[in-house]
Structure 1
């Protein structure tokens, strides 16, 4: 199974870049990983969040393959505990899912069209994070999930 992260925007803070590089390289020890960063819509003080979501959503949808099982990260999504996320990944590995695509929107979130395309809408927490922090948290959780599946000592339960 291949993992594909599609996200809007680049990481602007060095501590986020360093964390993402660390955890994404750890994830790649277990599964192939591709990251696709798409340009964020820019606007002035009269920015229209709905317009931005739609434009970014169109670009995200254009990059999602028809065969991919899509997990959209959204604050209104379903929450899973780490063990449940691990089970979810394990099930897809056993079922032979070819591509598991995780989608993170920009500063204004995801369009309704992206949410509808998703096979699962997932929330990382009841708390709200920036889309840049969500990327780091997702990679840490994917790494944690793989260590749980392999019964490795990273997860302390």
Structure 2
């Protein structure tokens, strides 16, 4: 399985970079991880509509997404899964011939409607609000956890 992370912006906080590096390394046992960061929109003057920012960043994400890619968008309005359900989702995708999954993570203002509509599935990491940098770290940890569940390895304690 190849996991593609298409993300708005770079990681700026050292502790998040360290965590992302750790879970990226752990995921290597289960397949490839490729991360592509698109440019984050510059902050706008006060009162500027965040919709314009989401739209510009969304266009950049969609420009990097192959037309036939299986895409999963991370959005606060998406479906919430427990770790076992995420593992089942990944396993089903693998069993049905999906060798690569593209995960889309928006910027500070989230994802545009166009990105959510293009996605094959929209998931939420939590009802809580996370920064887009934290979302990347949480996603990688959950992907690692899901792969250990699929392989019946001891990381997940249930």
| Same-fold status (TM-score > 0.5) | yes
> Which category of TM-score, normalised to the shorter sequence, fits these structures?
over 0.9
Q: Please state whether the residue corresponding to 1:26 is helix, strand or coil.
A: helix
Distance 2:65 2:96 in 1: 20
Where do 1:40-51 residues align within 5 Å? 40-46=40-46, 47-51=48-52
TM-score by length of 1: 0.97
Distance 2:45 2:12 in 1: 20
Aligned to 1:33: 33
Where do 1:97-136 residues align within 5 Å? 97-136=98-137
| Contact 1:67 1:99 (8 Å CA) reproduced | no
Aligned to 2:16: 16
Q: Deviations over 1:46-68 (max 9, x none)?
A: 24311110000001001111221
Distance 1:51 1:134 in 2: 22
Aligned to 2:157: 156
| Contact 1:7 1:106 (8 Å CA) reproduced | yes
| Contact 1:68 1:98 (8 Å CA) reproduced | no
Give every structure 1 segment of 4 or more consecutive aligned residues whose post-TM-superposition deviation is greater than 4 Å.
Answer: none
Paired residue total: 157
Q: Which residues of structure 1 form unaligned runs of 5+?
A: none
Aligned to 2:141: 140
Q: Please state whether the residue corresponding to 2:103 is helix, strand or coil.
A: strand
**Offset at residue 3 of structure 1 (A):** 1.0
Distance 1:8 1:66 in 2: 19
Aligned to 1:94: 95
Q: Please state whether the residue corresponding to 2:156 is helix, strand or coil.
A: coil
Q: Please state whether the residue corresponding to 1:128 is helix, strand or coil.
A: coil
CA-based RMSD of the aligned residues comes to 0.9
Q: Please state whether the residue corresponding to 1:40 is helix, strand or coil.
A: coil
Distance 1:81 1:75 in 2: 15
Distance 2:2 2:17 in 1: 22
